[in-house]
Amino acid sequence: MKLKSIFTNSFGILISRITGLGRDVLMASALGASVWSDMFFVAFKLPNLFRRIFAEGAFTQAFMPSFVASSHKGVFATAIFLRFLLFLTAFSLLITLFPEPITKLMAWGWSDALISQTSPLTAINFWYLDLIFIVTFLGTILQYKNHFATTAMSTVLLNIAMIAALYIYMKEEPKTVAYALSFAVLIGGVLQVLAHLVTLERLHLHKLLLGGYKYRKNKDVEAEKKRFSALFLPGILGNSTPQVSAFIDTILATFLAVGSVSYLFYANRLFQLPLAIIAIATATVLFPSVSKALKNHNETQAYQNLNQAFWLLAFLLGAATLGGFILAEPIIWALFERGKFTQAQTLQTASVLQMYMLGLLPFGLAKLFSLFLYASHRHLKAAQIALYSLIVSVTLSLLLMRPLGASGLALAGSIGGWVLFVFTVKGVGVHRFVAIIKLKITLYFLFTMILLGVLFAWLNDVLLTFIR
């Protein structure tokens, strides 16, 4: 297991998420959990959904196995890049011309007047999708050569652009702040693309793509393109359950009280922090090695990585789950309760965060086990498993949203995470899971979690006394 690469990737993602939290703190102070914050989050939701799908592994896990197996890597990569970029550019132009239908799709519960106000923000933010695809594509090429730092750190540039906009405009009226944030998203995306291009040239990987473009008509990669196409849609569905579930929750939240979209956004941002720096960082680093090992029929090496990574993730994600659940209110208070973000909004957001944290461990471990489905080209199986999870999540969201509000939506997503984990383990092989769960280590794990739970409960009591 490449611990150095994992820690490097985790550190980069951690810095990105810390600057993201700084951005969210300023945003909460400037907009609170209000109509305008809801409007911006809805407008940013679709490109942000695709950012998470593309940037956090789904595109890579569909593209990497085909790229590894390709006999004309430059030509194959260039063909896929041009196909996607052309489609996304045309789609973005369509959304720019007709933003209201897609906005209505994301906010069914809103009035026509509110949809009309939000639509221009949707049109601006949507162009970030084109930029993040370029970033993800270039990042995947870098990952093939075991370079992870640029992609992990690049989101810092997006956050810095948005922080700058907030710093300059936060005392203006909410409408101005929302528009400034939207244009800052595009500026951040451009900076991310430039950072990847510089790294690509520094590592001399630009020659691979330039050569692929030059000889694209002389090399036959049709069979490889067809194989990728067969894997892509199942791969996207199979690897994006948390993102799709959160997207649907945002739509459902528009039928709830004002501020519900914002509660979900702020809480989900905190939930995504440990998921990204622990589970996604580990999976990103291991995936190229697992793909190459399985391609070379070296299953022993591939599953050795699984055994070593499982307990690392279990301990770290278990600790994060306990900390996030028990300390939810002090965490939200420390990060967001200032300016227009009130004590009542802190309590609402903390409740949502607690429900999200119940799904952290299963989502993280499912991410690890799913590597072996994608590396062995079993994308359709992963998609079927994700569909089961999504059906459970959406069904429970519809049942729980009225009695529990936004917290019910988060709880439904967490239950869906457990369904995803159970079926993913079954798909990879229950015997693999049983071989990992050794009695001695399991007892150590449970004992450690009990001690951490007691410590966090004591700390929570101390902090709540100080806060209130």
pLDDT (0 to 100) of residue 16: 79
pLDDT (0 to 100) of residue 157: 92
Give the mean pLDDT of 222-243: 70
What is the tens place of the pLDDT at every residue in 75-104? 777 888 888 889 889 988 998 998 888 888
User: What is the chain's length?
Assistant: 468
Q: Quick one: pLDDT at residue 217?
A: 63
**Residue 246: CA count within 13 A, CB half-sphere:** 29
Res. 160 pLDDT band, cuts 50 70 90: very high
Q: What is the average per-residue pLDDT within 43-53?
A: 70
What's the pLDDT band for 351 if we cut at 50, 70, 90?
very high
Is the pLDDT higher at 432 or at 425? 425
Can you tell me the distance from the alpha carbon of 221 to that of 71, in angstroms, rounded to the nearest whole number?
A: 8
How much of the chain, in percent, has pLDDT values that exceed 90? 20
Mean pLDDT of the chain: 81
Q: How confident is the model at residue 183 (pLDDT cuts 50, 70, 90)?
A: very high
The pLDDT, as a whole number, for residue 421 is 93
Q: Are 327 and 467 in contact (CB under 8 A)?
A: no
Of 10, 23, 62, which Cα lies nearest the Cα of 364?
A: 10
User: Looking at residue 211, what is its pLDDT?
Assistant: 62
* pLDDT in the model for residue 57: 57
The mean pLDDT value for 358-377 works out to 84
pLDDT at 71 over 70: no
Give the pLDDT score at 319.
93
Q: What is the pLDDT of residue 25?
A: 78
Q: What is the pLDDT of residue 439?
A: 65
Bigger pLDDT: 125 vs 229: 125
pLDDT of residue 1 exceeding 60: no
> Given this model, what pLDDT does residue 174 score?
79
322 against 298, higher pLDDT = 322
pLDDT value for 302: 65
Token pair in block for residue 5: 């690469």
Q: Find all residues with CB under 8 Å of 391, minimum gap 6, and list them.
A: none
Question: Tell me, what's the pLDDT at 285?
Answer: 72
pLDDT digits (tens, 9 = 90+) for 115-147: 888 888 888 988 998 998 898 888 888 887 777
> Looking at the predicted structure, is the pLDDT value of residue 362 above 80?
yes
Tell me how far apart the alpha carbons of residues 393 and 399 are, in angstroms, rounded to a whole number: 10
What integer pLDDT is reported at residue 55 of this predicted model? 52
- pLDDT band for position 184 (50/70/90)? very high
Answer with the residue of higher pLDDT: 72 or 396.
396
Residue with tokens 């305008």: 36
Domain ranges of the chain: 3-467
How high is the pLDDT of residue 370?
83
Find all residues with CB under 8 Å of 1, minimum gap 6, and list them.
286, 304, 305, 308, 309, 312
Average pLDDT of the residues in 368-385: 80
